[in-house]
């Protein structure tokens, strides 16, 4: 994420130049501006033009690409809706863009990163008591998306900021998305085989429908390369074993999630495309464990 500065004009209502009164933390908002093009730079431009004399502003507005600083961190922005209260006077505000042509997950992840950076620079090592929803100050239904779990809920947001403060790394939340790392969680029966394999360079195992639920689709197959044969209870795993219909497999390999196709919050209904060693294939999210 790139942090850039497009400051609102000093001396106008949106940026009166009042010094912040101490630091309690960061307040999080969603713009709730779903129009195409309503990204961070568009909001920054709003404060420089049409809204410069409106008593509405923010320190930062973040989208999938940028964090744009509109009001310096040491100055008050009118974002929390509590007038001269602690929300406006002692917290730094971040607006997360939810424009339809943006990427709410990347934008929210960028806000996590920015949040952690602000807290760190203010000597905060534990998020407890230092992260606020706009809702906390006035009861407004904001951040609208996060309050609905889009792309994840408030608890997850706070955990991610804490994780970033702790030194980075993605929080494992079992919500599978592009970029997640996953393993197959369990032992699965081999229902069918394609041999010789024409679809994948290292062999294929047929739809594992009866193992746990619905098949992905009639044309979907798992590559057999990373799979080990094993007993029904997972014992005697053999990476060089010969797969056979009616036998069992398990797999300890970690796969990268390339993409997802259905709302994977509601696993096992989601479908993910996985990749390892250059082989891609589609699977249900149900048997996947995010690691």
Binding site for Zn ion (CB under 5 A): 29, 134, 142
Q: Which is nearer to Zn ion, 20 or 134 (CB)?
A: 134
Q: How far is the CB of 134 from Zn ion (least distance, A)?
A: 3
Q: How far is the CB of 152 from Zn ion (least distance, A)?
A: 18
Q: Which is nearer to Zn ion, 80 or 267 (CB)?
A: 80
Evaluated on CA atoms 165, 171, 173, 176, the torsion sign reads positive
Give the pair of three-digit tokens for residue 58. 């923010």
C-alpha span between 94 and 118 (Å, rounded): 11
Q: Which is nearer to Zn ion, 47 or 142 (CB)?
A: 142
CA distances (Å), origin 141, targets 12, 125, 144, 276: 27, 28, 6, 42
Q: How far is the CB of 42 from Zn ion (least distance, A)?
A: 17
What residue spans of the chain are helical by DSSP H? Answer: 40-48, 86-90, 104-121, 134-138, 154-165, 209-212
Q: Which is nearer to Zn ion, 13 or 163 (CB)?
A: 13
Contact criterion met (CB below 8 Å) for 70 and 44: yes
Cβ neighbors of 188 (< 8 A, separation 6 or more) are: 208, 211, 212, 248, 249, 250, 287
Q: How far is the CB of 142 from Zn ion (least distance, A)?
A: 3
Q: Which is nearer to Zn ion, 104 or 142 (CB)?
A: 142
10 Å CB burial of residue 160 (0-12, 13-18, 19+) is buried
Contact criterion met (CB below 8 Å) for 133 and 147: yes
Q: How far is the CB of 276 from Zn ion (least distance, A)?
A: 41
Q: How far is the CB of 189 from Zn ion (least distance, A)?
A: 51
Q: Which is nearer to Zn ion, 135 or 264 (CB)?
A: 135
C-alpha span between 274 and 78 (Å, rounded): 45
Q: How far is the CB of 133 from Zn ion (least distance, A)?
A: 8
Q: Which is nearer to Zn ion, 134 or 282 (CB)?
A: 134
Give the pair of three-digit tokens for residue 48. 């420089």
């Amino acid at each position: 994420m790139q942090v850039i500065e497009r400051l609102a004009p000093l001396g106008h209502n949106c940026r009166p130049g009042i010094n912040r009164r101490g630091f309690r933390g960061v307040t999080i908002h969603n713009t709730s501006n779903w129009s195409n093009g309503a990204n961070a730079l568009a909001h920054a431009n709003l404060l420089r033009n049409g809204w410069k004399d409106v008593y509405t502003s923010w320190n930062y507005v973040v989208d999938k690409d940028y964090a744009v600083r509109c009001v310096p961190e040491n100055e008050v922005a009118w974002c929390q809706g509590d007038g001269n209260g602690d929300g406006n006077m002692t917290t730094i505000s971040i607006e997360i863009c939810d424009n339809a042509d943006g990427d709410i997950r990347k934008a929210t992840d960028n806000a996590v990163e920015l949040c952690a950076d602000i807290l760190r620079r203010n000597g905060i090592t534990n998020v407890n008591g230092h992260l606020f929803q706009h809702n906390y100050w006035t009861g407004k239904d904001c951040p609208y998306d996060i309050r609905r779990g889009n792309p994840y809920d408030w608890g997850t947001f706070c955990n991610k900021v804490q994780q970033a403060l702790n030194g980075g790394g993605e929080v494992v939340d079992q919500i599978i998305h592009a970029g997640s790392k996953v393993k197959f969680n369990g032992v699965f029966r081999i229902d069918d085989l394609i041999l010789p394999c024409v679809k994948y360079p290292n062999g294929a195992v047929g739809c594992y429908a009866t193992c746990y639920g619905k098949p992905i689709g009639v044309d979907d197959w798992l590559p057999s390369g990373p799979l080990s044969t094993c007993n029904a209870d997972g014992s005697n795993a053999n990476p060089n074993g010969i797969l056979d219909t009616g036998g069992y497999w398990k797999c300890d390999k970690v796969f990268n999630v390339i993409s997802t196709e259905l709302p994977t919050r509601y696993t096992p209904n989601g479908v993910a495309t996985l990749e390892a060693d250059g082989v891609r294939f589609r699977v249900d999210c149900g048997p996947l464990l995010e690691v």
